Structure 1
């Protein structure tokens, strides 16, 4: 769970993925550094979907890729299957990572345009070897066909097609099938519906929900759409400029969110304004845009846009603290 590496929601539950003090920085020129992710802590529980929410530029996708070691983080640990991935390299890292899969934001560009669907989905089996005994004696083609059908594709229709012959939604279903082929324990979904039409988004979200139940996987779901993250996640971790603002159960967000940034995001949903505490006047903030990660504000990084900001917020960085069971907030004035 954020802040301590243990879950406030179910502290006695085993974790399938544990991230501690994750830092990702990118040098720019000779002296400047982009502070993309700064000290993330969270656990992922079995069968859980953890949503990572925040506007563009807050470090969501960078955090997801750092968990996958693409590239490795600047510092911190990523423990998966009781092994710290940051300490592995080469073949050992590749073997461990086969059970930790990722669905990319743009489904078309993440697929090799020269390969057919049957080969794209079966690629993992080609890399790691196929043993019919692991699949109830079925041959490879049968396994691929069953998986295509499980993600809502007609195997006979898409079998020999290439990505450019499919719609965006069909390509994303192929990506999901490819991710499931090696029977992962965790899937990281990096904005998996943001590039799709609204009519297709609901289909893919429902498919991800069904996939989690059918295949028994845990998910990290990254997105900037508040409604999408809230509806698909069990818990939501809100990021701002590389820092965790709040971690809260998705069902409690509207009524119990305490960080001003979380409340700002919720109030931006059309038709949902009345369900959120509207006592905060964000027009009084000194800035409206996300500050540069090259030079994040001192103290609380949200203070330049926060109506509750005081001198304390500029002088001292708030610590992520538990204010209620299953809810942690990094704000000096969370009780206001």
Structure 2
């Protein structure tokens, strides 16, 4: 394969709804320090596509999603929606353009005003723009997300379940007729049985409303099932990009393999003693050390490692990994990897 660059996975000549190039997000942390949340991340989103952004807590995936929304604006980089550059726009112009991107947050209950009724929560977006939606419009969008308008119309968030509140959040976003829906851990706070319902609803909504979607999560199984393409992030950097169907069988980056290995598997044929042994020796994204070995100290986004940011936890790390940052290069059809020691 030809050696690529850090943007080798970016596509051209296709119907791209969103193009994010060299995004940098940093936060002040006191005493002259700063958190390097997102460091030069690039990705694009095709019309009708779902891009999954996968990684453990603290990898920068949520910061990247919020920076796309300009909440807050990134330190540097480019965000283009339907060809329009969003960074650097005046606040008034940005508000107009940003209507076409809506965000679904992790905690649906706390993201809704507890004093407002469902009918007002769903209508709020259009009302802010001076257009009061009709009752029929609100009832229609409530029905489209699987809620009975007659039941929830006058209720407040505390009178609804977490799943119902997340459906309200989705309905509220749909009222503005968005092009892109950014879902930031939208099911992580919900019961497992409700998670499947919300994921199915998002799939149906995407098709019905002709949406493109960014789905941010740390749960590999969830991301794999809903996404067309998956971007794996670690400590503010992209380490692998692959079609979701190939993730389990073709993952190459040591970090992606670690995520795959950390997914628990039920084995009812095994007795309790063996199960306890597996739990003691299982690996999690906390480190790669074998049982009995010295634990691996996790790096900090305040002072990320030089070169490859995963090298302090990687069993394949060499001197080159400390001296030279690996750039994304193509290692297969639609498969891109940032690693010096794999995929050659």
Q: TM-score by structure 1 length?
A: 0.91
Measured against aligned partners, the alpha-carbon deviations of 1:175-195 in whole angstroms (never above 9, x if no partner) come to 000011111000000000001
2:314 counterpart of 1:306:
yes
Query: CA separation in 2, counterparts of 1:192 and 1:206?
Result: 12
2:148 counterpart of 1:147:
no
Query: CA separation in 1, counterparts of 2:92 and 2:128?
Result: 12
- Unpaired segments of 5 or more residues in structure 1? 132-138
CA contact (8 A) 2:8 2:328 kept: no
2:175 counterpart of 1:181:
yes
Query: Counterpart of 1:134?
Result: none
2:212 counterpart of 1:212:
no
Query: Counterpart of 1:334?
Result: 342
- Unpaired segments of 5 or more residues in structure 2? 268-282
Query: Counterpart of 1:325?
Result: 333
Partner of 2:87, secondary structure, is: helix
2:250 counterpart of 1:256:
yes
Distance change (3 Å), C-alpha of 1:293 and 1:308: same
2:163 counterpart of 1:162:
no
Query: Counterpart of 1:54?
Result: 55
Query: CA separation in 2, counterparts of 1:82 and 1:144?
Result: 31
1:145 CA drift (Å): 0.2
2:231 counterpart of 1:237:
yes
2:197 counterpart of 1:203:
yes
Query: CA separation in 1, counterparts of 2:259 and 2:41?
Result: 20
Query: CA separation in 2, counterparts of 1:144 and 1:287?
Result: 54
Query: CA separation in 1, counterparts of 2:30 and 2:51?
Result: 35
Query: Counterpart of 2:110?
Result: 109
Partner of 2:62, secondary structure, is: helix
Return 289-298 or 305-314, whichever deviates more. 289-298
Query: Counterpart of 2:240?
Result: 246
Count the aligned residue pairs: 320
Distance change (3 Å), C-alpha of 1:168 and 1:242: same
Measured against aligned partners, the alpha-carbon deviations of 1:77-96 in whole angstroms (never above 9, x if no partner) come to 11012111111121110000
Partner of 1:309, secondary structure, is: coil
CA contact (8 A) 1:5 1:42 kept: no
CA contact (8 A) 1:189 1:221 kept: yes
Measured against aligned partners, the alpha-carbon deviations of 1:43-67 in whole angstroms (never above 9, x if no partner) come to 0000000000000010111111010
Query: CA separation in 1, counterparts of 2:204 and 2:343?
Result: 38
2:10 counterpart of 1:4:
no
CA contact (8 A) 1:20 1:39 kept: yes
CA contact (8 A) 2:229 2:241 kept: yes
CA RMSD of aligned residues (A): 2.0
Distance change (3 Å), C-alpha of 1:286 and 1:23: farther
Query: Counterpart of 2:25?
Result: 24
2:277 counterpart of 1:283:
no
Measured against aligned partners, the alpha-carbon deviations of 1:63-116 in whole angstroms (never above 9, x if no partner) come to 110100000001001101211111112111000000100001100010011111
Query: CA separation in 2, counterparts of 1:286 and 1:306?
Result: 14
1:57-96 mapped onto 2 (5 Å cutoff): 57-96=58-97
1:257 CA drift (Å): 0.9
Query: CA separation in 1, counterparts of 2:295 and 2:323?
Result: 18
Query: CA separation in 2, counterparts of 1:101 and 1:231?
Result: 22
Return 323-332 or 237-246, whichever deviates more. 323-332
1:289 CA drift (Å): 5.2
